[in-house]
Amino acid sequence: MLSSLPVALVSPIGHDIFVTSAPYAYPQRSPAVRPRGTDGETHLGSSTRVQRTRKILLSGVFGPYGVDDEFGRKENIMELYHNQVTKAQGPASFRFHHRSFGLYFIAANINADITILDFPSRKRFAREIERGDYDMVGISFIMPNFDKAREMARIVREKAPHAEIILGGHGAAIEGVDRMIDCDHVVKGEGIRWMREHLGQDPDAPIRHPALPSAEWMSILGVPLQGPSSSLLVPGVGCVNGCSFCSTSHFFGKSYAPFLDSGKALFETACRVADERGTDSFFVMDENFLKHRDRALELLSEIEQHQRFFRFHIFSSAEAITAFGLDNLVRLGVDLVWIGFESRSRQSAFAKNHGIDARKLVQDLRDRGIAVLASGILCMEHHTPDNMQEDIDFLVGLEADFAQFMLLTPIPVTALYLDQQRRGLLRMDLPFQEWHGQKRLSYHHLAFNDDDPEKWINRAFRQDYEENSSSMFRMAETAVRGYEHLAAKTDRDACLEARMVQCRDKARSWSLILPAVTRNAVNPLERRRSNDLFERAIRLFGQRLWERAAGIATIALAGLWKLRLKIFGDRLQPRTIVTRYKAVAVTRELADSGAVSIVGRTQVQQLPPAAAAISPTSFMTSGS
């Protein structure tokens, strides 16, 4: 057998979760051997030679997260939803943790002994440095975690002065970061290619898409979500729309670099990852997935041809959604779409929203069972206390399943940052810890005092919660609406029949938590809405005995969760995840056999035939 898929062995040890990624099996593979002697090589017999195996540590920043201390701020929570989407929804807030995905992409595509630390404590990171004997340490961070990255570099210099320090992630875009943090290299842009070139490995080798969960430790109202989380799928990076504030678009030069450049490649990768992780649901990390309409249509064709009905959560712009077609979204299996509406009062300035009836689009999507996360920006330069409420009312009035509010924040490399830098508006006196977009502005705004932005953003989140009810209620309602829409069709083909069944199962599943939503409603309006929806679901699907018991259990779990929040507060500190990748030992005989290739004197892993070939581009993490 030429190759075997990676095997994850997971076991909790103390506060860490250890994951050992078994290497791919190659014919005649020799075991990896650490170098001995002075020449950096180990000799196995008279004719076999193994190149020195590099030891690399890749790490996200250390915790605790979301607390005020010397390294961070309480507003910078290590949870996407609870940080900037459902933060005002109290016990009903979505509590998900997300890994530093880019580190796993790098580890899966270079040949070395690699350890990944996700969510380490400062003490755990230091212990790994002391014991690991690492040649290189990569630290991935975003701007608000600058002080943590600097402290981690200090620890490396103290405990492993021989190790190279590499900075990556969006924090690497900070101007002069190499002078502010003691490091050897700063990677801006192509992370996988850079690491391959730095190690002397082939930068143009195919890229393997790893099989990763999109989220960890998921719960809503204290009710843990059962089964595997959606898998991660990364078709490409960047976005051609190039909105002036968008760090991701500018990080990749306002262009799009595909990892998977065809619908067939997307489908084959999705099949492999789904089989490996045991779920057909995917979180698609692509800034504007439907912008590449032909690729998405080809993916739909593959899905229908092979009757493999995946489900997707995607990001896409309003104009790309309408061009692709809402009914095509249903057939494709889109469960949720994240749309940047940004601002009503400047809507004409964003070409992606020009001519779009935003509210109609959102409601048409929800009618088809597609949940919507609508995002908007507050404290833009045209905003004043007199017109800000107009934009809040606009976003809340869309009645999307989720609303994200962010303060306008100029991030290095963006056109917005460069423009405000040229005009002398940047607040370089503001610590990077505060550049998280949820409390203070990082630029001078004549219309707002320092404390005003936090009041406005908190008011916006609270208004959305009180007027539209919890996102959990809205998601359940969308699922029911989607089922009713498809059930009413009399001409369903195999694809729509499968999508109707998926909507039905989703609606039944989400409805189980509605008794807890009703009991913990934010106001009488939500209590009535939730109770009515629960009765509507029972009329549609009936209620089995175990479902009735489950509803009672959700009430009990929600009560325990509220007690936990009252006693211990709402900050959750994720357990450390430790993942280790073993290098493939490369001998001269093995290289000659064609099973692997050697570039210069360095080991390079060649992907097995089952791996998807993807054009190599960077994937630097955005999660830490």
pLDDT digits (tens, 9 = 90+) for 466-478: 999 999 999 999 9
Q: Cα separations (Å) of 431 from 73, 284, 434, 453? A: 10, 33, 6, 17
pLDDT digit string (tens) for 266-291? 999 999 999 999 999 999 998 899 99
CA distance 425 to 442: 9
Going by DSSP bridges, is the β-strand pair 16-21/576-581 parallel, antiparallel, or unpaired? parallel
Q: How confident is the model at residue 252 (pLDDT cuts 50, 70, 90)?
A: low
pLDDT at 528: 98
Judged by average pLDDT, the poorest of 174-178, 560-564, 592-596 is 592-596
pLDDT at residue 28 is higher than 90: no
CA distance 143 to 413: 12
pLDDT at 150: 97
Q: How confident is the model at residue 351 (pLDDT cuts 50, 70, 90)?
A: confident
Instruction: Return the top range by mean pLDDT from 19-28, 122-131, 343-352.
Output: 122-131
If you average pLDDT over residues 49-72, what whole number do you get?
85
Through-space distance between the first and last CA atoms of the chain, rounded to whole angstroms: 38
Q: Comparing 236 with 86, which gets the higher pLDDT?
A: 86
- Which neighbouring-strand residues pair with 326? none
pLDDT digit string (tens) for 210-246? 999 999 889 999 999 888 899 999 998 777 777 777 7
- Report helix, strand or coil for 376: strand
- Report helix, strand or coil for 488: coil
pLDDT at 50: 45
Backbone φ and ψ of 2, nearest 5°: -70, -40
pLDDT at 436: 85
Q: How confident is the model at residue 412 (pLDDT cuts 50, 70, 90)?
A: confident
Q: Please say whether the beta carbons of 560 and 222 come within 8 A.
A: yes
Q: Please say whether the beta carbons of 596 and 605 come within 8 A.
A: yes
Q: How confident is the model at residue 601 (pLDDT cuts 50, 70, 90)?
A: very low
Please give the torsion angle defined by the CA atoms of residues 83, 86, 90 and 96, in that order, rounded to the nearest 10 degrees.
Answer: -60
pLDDT at 51: 56
What's the gap between Cα 460 and its chain centre? 24
pLDDT at 420: 86
CA distance 67 to 98: 18
If you average pLDDT over residues 314-336, what whole number do you get?
95
If you average pLDDT over residues 202-208, what whole number do you get?
88
One-letter amino acid of 144: P
Which DSSP symbol is given to 593?
H
If you average pLDDT over residues 169-189, what whole number do you get?
92
Instruction: Return the top range by mean pLDDT from 1-15, 319-333, 408-422, 590-604.
Output: 319-333
Which of 287, 406, 286, 288 has the alpha carbon at shortest distance from 343? 406
Judged by average pLDDT, the poorest of 1-15, 70-84, 475-489 is 1-15
DSSP readout, 91-104? GGSEEEE---HHHH
pLDDT at residue 126 is higher than 70: yes
CA distance 405 to 300: 32
- What top-level class would CATH report for the domain 225-513? alpha beta
Q: Please say whether the beta carbons of 26 and 590 come within 8 A.
A: yes
User: What is the model's pTM?
Assistant: 0.84
pLDDT at residue 19 is higher than 80: no
Q: Comparing 373 with 188, which gets the higher pLDDT?
A: 373
pLDDT at residue 348 is higher than 50: no
- Rg for the chain (alpha carbons), in Å? 25
pLDDT at 533: 98
pLDDT at 500: 97
Judged by average pLDDT, the poorest of 240-254, 382-396, 507-521, 550-564 is 240-254
Longest dimension (CA), the chain: 82
CA distance 621 to 624: 7
Percentage of residues of the chain with pLDDT beyond 70:
83
pLDDT at 120: 95
Q: Comparing 344 with 608, which gets the higher pLDDT?
A: 344
pLDDT at residue 25 is higher than 50: no
Q: How confident is the model at residue 21 (pLDDT cuts 50, 70, 90)?
A: low
Domain 43-60+100-208+576-624 has CATH 3.40.50.2300: yes
Q: Where are the domains of the chain?
A: 43-60+100-208+576-624, 225-513
Judged by average pLDDT, the poorest of 195-209, 344-358, 544-558 is 344-358
What's the gap between Cα 313 and its chain centre? 11
pLDDT at 246: 75
Going by DSSP bridges, is the β-strand pair 223-224/113-118 parallel, antiparallel, or unpaired? unpaired
